[in-house]
């Protein structure tokens, strides 16, 4: 059997690995627009000069050769024929397949703000190529402006600060990393970033960008009337799934490629996984989707059930935070919001009727993995007679007598 995988990030590589372990004789072709494999979660380490391109790879150096996988790098897919079962590449090759996995990810989005899309010094922070372009700008630029204070924006900011630029971060919400943090935990990071030289313009948004003779965006105007000078602009205002090439193929889409629980599209034998299916934008879930799609392509019938995606960890300047679920409940009075803090820690648990809905652990995140299990499985902890902050896996301890693996006693 011949399987073609489009995309070589978390979902694509995880699928290729899974297939090679399960059925090593399967012929695999991986098509990627990049010429190196890299983890986009480590781009800040590249831009900050902590690691080189090789250092941000998440596979072994000779991954493709070792696994006997054909890798078409610097190649994009421009068309898909679902009847004759082939994809056409930008260099006009027709690559035939028995099964296809679309793992093309997502691309950053530049909001339609006057001047922003036209400016030549606006970069996303998504692929190694973006980090490379930013890297060369950093050689001369002094003032950097980051638009969007989500995780990607803060990753970019930390690297730009590391390179000695003056960094201003513009954010519409009133705190940084608004999806992952509450006011208190966001303030702790904001303070750390400010100590390292960053400036924040919160509850504000870009209204226009003035462009100079060279085509570069130089002055950024904000709704508040303020303005910021820029030599280089990083846009971190969200991403959109990338699937242009399926447009005429008959594959069902709705802002993302639509898949069933088996991660198969509406066309038999064609699967999709990762950011392109728009279910969740985080690495662990893309890996798991790639794995499940791969197993199903080999003829099994696994369902993608572990869909929980409201989860993240952050680690900036040595301050670690785990955040899960609904941490900023809108109607506070209808939830139990418990807080425990000391000099080095801020912990918050949001619950209702004994079910934990959200958790923030900032500072010490030791052994906190069990919280996600409690939240996503809606486990009632009201019967456990102890302070909720003292819960641990020990309260649910169970061992499989044959394999010795841990289970949950619930």
Partner 1 sequence: MKRIIIDREKCDGCLNCNVACISAHEEGSNFYTVNLGSVDSETRNFIKFDAKTGYTPIFCRHCDEPECVLSCMSGAMEKDPVTGHVKYDESKCAACYMCVMNCPFGVLKPDNKTRTKVIKCDFCEEKQDGPSCVKACPKQAIEVKEVSR
* Interface ranges with partner 1 (CB under 8 A): 10, 14, 21, 39, 41-42, 45, 56-60, 282-284, 287-288, 291, 311-313, 315, 318, 320, 322, 324, 365-370, 372-373, 385-386, 392-395, 397, 399, 402-406, 408
Treating both helix axes as pointing N-terminal to C-terminal, what angle do 283-297 and 10-22 enclose, rounded to 10 degrees?
40
Question: What is the nearest approach in angstroms of partner 1 to the Cβ of residue 322?
Answer: 5
Distance CA 102, CA 274 (A): 9
**Residue closer to partner 1, measured from CB, 39 or 253:** 39
Minimum separation from the CB atom of position 43 to partner 1 (A): 11
Distance of alpha carbon 297 from alpha carbon 102, whole angstroms = 12
DSSP 93: -
Which residues neighbour 343 within 8 Å (Cβ) at sequence distance 6 or greater? none
Q: Which is nearer to partner 1, 66 or 341 (CB)?
A: 66
Residue 209 CB, nearest approach to partner 1 (Å):
32
Instruction: Closer to partner 1 by CB, 126 or 288: give it.
Output: 288
Helix, strand and coil content of the chain, in percent to the nearest 5, comes to 25, 30, 45
232 vs 130: CA distance, rounded Å: 12
Strands 199-201 and 166-170: parallel
Q: What SS3 state is found at 236?
A: coil
Closest to partner 1 by CB, 182 or 231: 182
| CA dist., res. 123 & res. 144, Å (int) | 11
| Least separation in angstroms between CB 101 and partner 1 | 17
> In whole angstroms, how far apart are CA 219 and each of 112, 118, 207, 226?
16, 13, 11, 10
For partner 1, the closer CB: 341 or 390: 390
d(CA 228, CA 218): 8
Smaller CB separation from partner 1, 145 or 293: 293
Q: How far is CA 330 from CA 131, 182, 203, 333, 337, in A?
A: 37, 12, 18, 9, 12
The smaller minimum CB distance to partner 1, of residues 38 and 216, is found at 38
Supply the minimum distance, in Å, between the C-beta of residue 36 and partner 1: 13
**Toward partner 1, which CB reaches closer, 206 or 322?**
322
CB of 312 to partner 1, least distance (A): 8
User: Cβ 157 to partner 1, closest distance in Å?
Assistant: 16
What's the min distance (Å) between Cβ of 82 and partner 1?
Answer: 30
- How far is Cα 209 from Cα 109, in angstroms, rounded to an integer? 16
- The two structure tokens encoding residue 46: 């590249």
């Amino acid at each position: 059997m011949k399987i073609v995988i489009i995309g070589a990030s978390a979902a694509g590589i995880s699928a290729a690995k899974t297939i090679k372990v399960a059925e090593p004789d399967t012929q695999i072709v991986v098509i990627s627009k990049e010429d190196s494999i890299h983890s986009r979660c480590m781009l800040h380490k590249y831009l900050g000069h902590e690691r080189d391109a090789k250092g941000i790879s998440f596979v072994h150096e000779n991954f493709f050769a070792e696994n006997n996988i054909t890798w078409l790098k610097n190649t994009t897919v421009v068309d898909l024929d679902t009847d004759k079962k082939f994809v056409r590449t930008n260099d006009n090759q027709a690559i035939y397949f028995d099964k296809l996995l679309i793992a093309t990810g997502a691309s950053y989005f530049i909001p339609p703000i006057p001047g922003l899309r036209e400016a030549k010094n606006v970069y996303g922070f998504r692929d190694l190529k973006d980090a490379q372009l930013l890297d060369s700008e950093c050689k001369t630029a002094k003032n950097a402006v980051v638009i969007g204070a989500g995780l990607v924006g803060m990753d970019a900011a930390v690297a730009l600060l590391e390179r000695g630029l003056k960094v201003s971060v513009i954010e519409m919400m009133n705190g940084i990393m608004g999806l992952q943090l509450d006011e208190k935990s966001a303030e702790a990071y904001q303070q750390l970033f400010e100590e390292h030289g960053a400036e924040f313009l919160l509850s504000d948004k870009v209204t226009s960008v003035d462009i100079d003779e060279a085509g570069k965006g130089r002055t950024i105007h904000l709704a508040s009337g303020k303005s910021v000078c820029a030599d280089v602009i990083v846009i971190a205002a969200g991403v959109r799934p990338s699937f242009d090439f399926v447009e005429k193929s008959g594959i069902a889409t709705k802002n993302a490629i639509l898949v069933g629980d088996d991660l198969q599209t509406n066309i038999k034998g064609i699967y999709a996984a990762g950011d392109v299916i728009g279910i969740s934008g985080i690495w662990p879930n893309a890996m798991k989707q790639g794995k499940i799609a791969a197993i199903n392509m080999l003829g099994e019938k696994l369902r993608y059930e572990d869909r929980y995606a409201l989860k993240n960890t952050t680690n900036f300047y040595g301050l670690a935070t785990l955040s899960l679920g609904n941490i900023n409940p809108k109607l506070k009075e209808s939830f139990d919001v418990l807080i425990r803090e000391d000099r080095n820690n801020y912990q918050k648990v949001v619950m209702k009727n004994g079910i934990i809905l959200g958790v923030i652990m900032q500072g010490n995140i030791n052994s906190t993995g069990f919280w996600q299990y409690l939240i996503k499985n809606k486990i009632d902890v009201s019967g456990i007679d102890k302070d909720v902050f003292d819960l641990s896996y020990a309260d649910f301890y169970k061992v499989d007598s044959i394999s010795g693996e841990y289970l949950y006693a619930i």
